[in-house]
Copies of this chain bind each other. A is one copy, B any other.
Amino acid sequence: MTKTLTFAEPPDELQLESGRSLGPVTLAYETYGQLNEARDNAILILHALSGDAHAAGYHEGEDKPGWWDIMIGPGKPFDTDRFFVLCSNIIGGCKGSTGPGSTNPETGKPFGLAFPVITIKDMVDAQRHLLDHLGIDRLYAVAGGSMGGMQVLQWVAAYPERVARAIPIATCASLSTQGIAFDEVGRQAIMSDPDWRGGDYYDATEPRRGLALARMVGHITYLSETSMHNKFARRLQEKAEYGYDFATDFQVESYLRYKGDSFVDRFDANSYLYITKAMDYFDLARSYGSLDKAFARTDADFLIISFSSDWLFPTHQSKAIVRALRHNNLNAVFTEIKTDYGHDAFLLESDKIGPLIANFLADTAGRGS
């Protein structure tokens, strides 16, 4: 079940990277397994753009489990017989934590664009309150893919004393120019939708078309040319002949429209703006002077995983992280998984990354937390 933590009073108000502050802040989170007496078996899982705190197990009435259920549970790579696994939703989202759809205490209405622009650092700072609340001084590990991986890197940079192991997957220390470009297209699609109304749509129609378009663009970047070809090639939808109109002809068109439309039912357009902006802003080298300096204070061990066909978070970005870690004489294991699945591989290639993670967490060197 998803729980929440709310912190409100200064000094517990969240001081944001922009200079603004946010409070009260609510964080949605889930936990699996038991925190041991030494409180040193906690693993923090961090989710990607459209994820949430519900990482594993089934909520009542659900026919699909949490988004990383295949990786989290008894005997699974994040073994809940041994570890206390914690998944925190991000601020800025729309899955139970404070975000642009939350009530603005100053107006009693949804924030909309009055919500402050938040960063990956702000997300992590909010999660730090959650660790304090749970009495966890030091995490056995912190792990996540895509934007979750950005949070992993931010964790070791900002709170080096609190992380023993880090598993950044399919991620980067700063988004590529092309990545920013795609994010900006998504944002423009939302903001071009007349239903967006400057972000003030919570008592009216949502900007469904704009958000669906943003998701369609995003979805193409999560797949690879090869995986799209393998899945759809140039196959037509139902009929054998071209329709010679602008209805759906190709299966890939129908698939993208479905992905766009179904996303709208579970996501908030303003959150899409805020979260993609946080991803664009993330730049460890900028924040710390250089990537080497960002890792100067951590003593964590690292398992870095990239995917050969991931063109949104390409392998060379993971290698740049590995180089900076090694410049700091840190223990960094790096693997590029050969796969056609593109960026989505971080959710799909669990057979390949599961054993790597289980082995990394096994702590045969007796490092402990």
Q: Point out which of A181, A225, A257, A281 has the most chain B C-beta atoms below 10 A from its C-beta.
A: A181
- For residue A256, which residues in chain B have a CB less than 8 angstroms away from its CB? 181, 184-185
Q: Report the minimum CB–CB distance from A262 to chain B (whole Å).
A: 15
- For residue A78, which residues in chain B have a CB less than 8 angstroms away from its CB? none
Tally of A interface residues using CB under 8 Å? 57
B225 adjacent to A178 (CB under 8 Å): yes
How many protomers of this protein does the assembly include?
A: 2
Given A228-B177, A245-B117, A253-B181, also A234-B283 (CB < 8 A): yes
- For residue A181, which residues in chain B have a CB less than 8 angstroms away from its CB? 216, 220, 228, 252-253, 256
Provide the bound-state CA to CA distance between A189 and B174, in Å: 28
Select from chain B the residue with minimum beta-carbon distance to A316.
B225
Q: Pick the residue among B175, B209, B228, B234 that contacts A192 (CB under 8 A).
A: B209
B180 adjacent to A246 (CB under 8 Å): no
Select from chain B the residue with minimum beta-carbon distance to A208.
B192
A180 adjacent to B213 (CB under 8 Å): no
B233 adjacent to A177 (CB under 8 Å): yes
Q: Pick the residue among B113, B209, B249, B253 that contacts A246 (CB under 8 A).
A: B113
A178 adjacent to B228 (CB under 8 Å): yes
Q: Is A182 an interface residue (CB 8 A)?
A: yes
* Residues 144-161 of A at the B interface (beta carbon under 8 Å): none
Given A225-B176, A229-B176, also A189-B189 (CB < 8 A): yes
Q: Is A280 an interface residue (CB 8 A)?
A: yes
Select from chain B the residue with minimum beta-carbon distance to A179.
B225
A191 adjacent to B113 (CB under 8 Å): no
Between A and B, 13 residue pairs with Cβ closer than 8 Å are: A116-B244, A117-B246, A176-B228, A177-B228, A177-B231, A177-B252, A180-B250, A181-B228, A184-B256, A185-B213, A185-B256, A188-B213, A192-B213
